[in-house]
Structures are given as structure tokens and as C-alpha cells.
Amino acid sequence: MKLGAVIVTYNRLELLKECIEACLKQSYPFQEIFIVNNASTDGTLEYLKTLKNPKIKVLNSKENLGGAYGFYEGVKHFENSKLDYILLIDDDAMIDKDYNQEIVKYMDKDDTISGYSGIVKTNDEIQFEHRRHLKNLKIFKETKSTEEEYTKDFFDYELSTFCGLFIPVKLIKKIKYPSQEFFIWFDDTEYSLRLLKYGKIRNVNKAILNHKTTISNQRGHNWKSYYSLRNKAIVLKRYFSKSQL
């Protein structure tokens, strides 16, 4: 099984360094690591120029077009590659050294599965919202994965974030690329719905990812909440009953 990785980064140089190192230290190696730099201003551009590893390829954007743009370009980059699966992660996602090894054990064993992922933890606590269920394909009502599901070897679900998600290269020509116009948020939900046409996503519970993010308790409206509301409305209009708008 030949694997690639897409890392999207913006102004988090120290996290990016750690993320790249985690990808390079995999017990089951990546064939290529493609980094999309969203016009970082913290020295990321200069650092990336120093990397000499032939596995690493870089795209430097001239402006910050958001995480959705990064994943759009990353998936597009691998469309015609000879790889089997590509991993989608942000720069703050640190995969354990056996992340690939544990997931490869399950790949292509079940033709009803369209993608693979592992456990997302922050401060050693499972972040259940990264793996979610959609109970009714006609109504957008999602529920988080449950603690009980993580006691199994694996479980299948419908909606994933791009935090540690493997997608099959063979499906890219069919479902194309993530929607870059989303800028941030809901691009992964919308892409999961495209994957769902070809099967559910399987979460492998021995594969673990440390998500070095800050869990925010911020309330109220800001520029991020704008994209959340706008993009959710786009998803509802595109895939579900108009009565939910």
C-alpha cells in the first residue's frame, strides 16, 4: 500500500516542524509528503526552503486562502499519482509513529469503506466531535462518536474532519477536491458526504493522533463563526431538505 500525506499550514512553524517529523518517522512510511503553506509570515517559507528530503514537496500560496484551499490543492496534487491513499492533516496534528501501520492493516479489506482514520486526542482526551454519525441521509442531524465505540477494534461512521483522514486516490477523480470556497470549516463535512456515496469511514482505534490545539470556550460571533454558519447553510442546501435552512 503506497501512502501520501497532505499537510496544510499557516503561521505555526514550531508545530509544523513537529508534524513533519512525525510523518517522517512513521513505521510504515509515506511515499510523499505535500505541504501547502498558506502565505505564512512567521518564517515558515524560509524554513521550508531548507528541507532537502526528496519525499517532501511544497506549494507556497501568495496569500492566505484558508485551510479549505490547502486541502483542495493537496488532494488535487495527488489525483494522478500512483499512490493508494493520502492522509489529510493540519500542522497541529501529530500522528503516532504507528498511525499508518495500524490503519494499513484494514485498508481495502472491505469494499463498503471509503476512508480511514484514527483516534484524535487533545491533552490525552478523545475528541469525539472529529468522528460523527449521520443517522438520516435526508435530514442533517449529526451525533458525536461515543466512548463505547472507542473500546472496539474499529467502528464505522459518516462524517469526519480532515484531522487524520485517509482517502483513496482512486476516488479523487469521482468526487474531485474539497471546496476551496469554504475557506475554513464544513469543507471536511461536505467532502465526507461525497465520500459517503461510496461507503462509510472506518476509525481504527489503535491509530492515535495528538491534536495540539487549544480548546476554545469562546462564545459570540466572529469571522470563524461567520464561515461556520455560511458553510453549513451551503451544505444543507446542497444535500438536505430545504426546510432545514
User: Over the stretch 110-136, which tens digit does the pLDDT of each residue have?
Assistant: 999 999 999 999 999 999 999 999 988
Measured CA to CA, the distance from residue 225 to residue 62 in angstroms comes to: 25
- pLDDT number for residue 81: 97
Q: What global pTM score does this model have?
A: 0.93
Percent of the chain with pLDDT over 90: 82
Q: How far is CA 58 from the centre of its chain?
A: 18
- For the chain, give the mean pLDDT: 93
Q: What DSSP designation does 64 have?
A: -
pLDDT tens digits along 9-51: 999 999 999 999 999 999 999 999 999 999 999 999 999 999 9
What does the pLDDT average to over 68-82? 97
The pLDDT score that the predictor gives to residue 242 is 59
Q: Does residue 100 come out as left (phi exceeding 0), alpha (psi in the -120 to 50 range) or beta? A: alpha
Q: Please, are residues 162 and 72 in contact by the beta-carbon 8 Å criterion?
A: no
Cβ atoms of 13 and 91 within 8 Å: the answer is no
Residue 217 has pLDDT above 90, yes or no: no
Contacts of 141 (CB under 8 A, 6+ apart): 134, 135
**How large is the average pLDDT for residues 73-98?**
98
Exposure of 178 in the CB half-sphere (CA atoms within 13 A): 32
**Three-class SS state of 215:** coil
